[in-house]
């Protein structure tokens, strides 16, 4: 079987490249029943009324440098991909990573239009953001190539990570970064 990487892990490179590497290299299984995951699933289900002709959770994949890159787009219509994210704040610094993720789904599925829809988990306020697919696809390819290079050699990224101080807070890899003396944020 070919090596597989997930689109969401590649997009996360913009926040912590090392975490993207660990997630892709070790492929941990995360529990499917966290409060956020359950809430997200419920809200996703309610979207089916808004998009009666759309397909949901559409799998997509393509190949890059001999690696299979896979993902699942939230909502796919005849022309567009809609990626929904349920957040604490609509001004989250993670938005560029989500744009990269959404653009990768659009390209993989051959859709020229792409929208990122942010929903505030507390009050359901929402914002629909058009994504410049070609621009974010270029960024995606850059991050994907970089990640593939590290995965192929097993070389743990040593550079200063993460980009945002909060990323280490609940990171399952914190003990490894700490043991190896790699730069990370302490809590
Ligand atoms: S602990 Fe911090 S630096 Fe280490 S992988 Fe996690 S997010 Fe990245």
Pair of tokens at residue 74: 């939230």
Instruction: Return the pLDDT at 1.
Output: 47
Neighbours of 105 (CB within 10 A): 27
Q: What is the pTM of this model?
A: 0.90
- The CATH number assigned to the domain with range 4-160 reads 3.90.320.10
Distance CA 136, CA 99 (A): 7
Q: Is the dihedral of CA 92, 93, 94, 99 positive or negative?
A: positive
Q: Which atom of ligand 1 is nearest to the CA of 172?
A: 6
Q: Express each pLDDT in 94-128 by its tens digit.
A: 999 999 999 999 999 999 999 999 989 888 899 99
Instruction: Return the pLDDT at 170.
Output: 84
Name 113's bridge partners.
80
Q: What is the CA radius of gyration of the chain?
A: 17
Of 12, 30, 170, 173, the residue with max ligand 1 atoms within 8 A of its CB, to mutate for a pocket test, comes to 173
Instruction: Return the pLDDT at 12.
Output: 94
Of 9, 13, 14, 18, the residue with max ligand 1 atoms within 8 A of its CB, to mutate for a pocket test, comes to 18
Residue 2: pLDDT band by 50, 70, 90 thresholds? Answer: low
Residue 82: pLDDT band by 50, 70, 90 thresholds? Answer: very high
CA of 5 to the centre of ligand 1 (A): 19
Which residue's CA lies nearest to atom 3 of ligand 1?
Answer: 184
Which residue's CA lies nearest to atom 1 of ligand 1?
Answer: 174
CA of 144 to the centre of ligand 1 (A): 18
- Domain limits of the chain? 4-160
Q: Which atom of ligand 1 is nearest to the CA of 183?
A: 3
Q: Express each pLDDT in 10-57 by its tens digit.
A: 999 999 999 999 999 998 876 666 666 676 677 677 778 888 889 998
Q: Are 72 and 60 in contact (CB under 8 A)?
A: yes
């Amino acid at each position: 079987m070919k090596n597989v990487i997930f689109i969401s892990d590649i997009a996360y490179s913009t926040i912590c490249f090392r975490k993207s590497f660990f997630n892709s290299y070790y492929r941990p299984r995360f529990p499917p029943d966290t409060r956020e995951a359950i809430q997200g699933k419920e809200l996703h289900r309610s979207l089916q009324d808004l998009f009666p002709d759309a397909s949901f959770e559409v799998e997509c994949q393509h190949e890059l440098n001999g690696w299979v890159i896979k993902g699942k787009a939230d909502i796919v219509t005849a022309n567009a991909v809609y990626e929904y994210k349920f957040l604490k704040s609509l001004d989250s610094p993670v938005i560029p990573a989500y744009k990269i993720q959404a653009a990768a789904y659009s390209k993989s599925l051959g859709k020229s239009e792409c929208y990122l829809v942010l929903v505030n988990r507390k009050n359901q306020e929402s914002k629909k953001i058009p994504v410049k697919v070609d621009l974010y696809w270029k960024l995606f390819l850059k991050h994907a190539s970089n990640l593939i290079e590290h995965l192929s050699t097993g070389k743990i990224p040593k550079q200063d990570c993460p980009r945002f101080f909060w990323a280490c807070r609940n990171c399952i890899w914190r003990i490894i970064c700490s043991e190896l003396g790699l730069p990370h944020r302490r809590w």
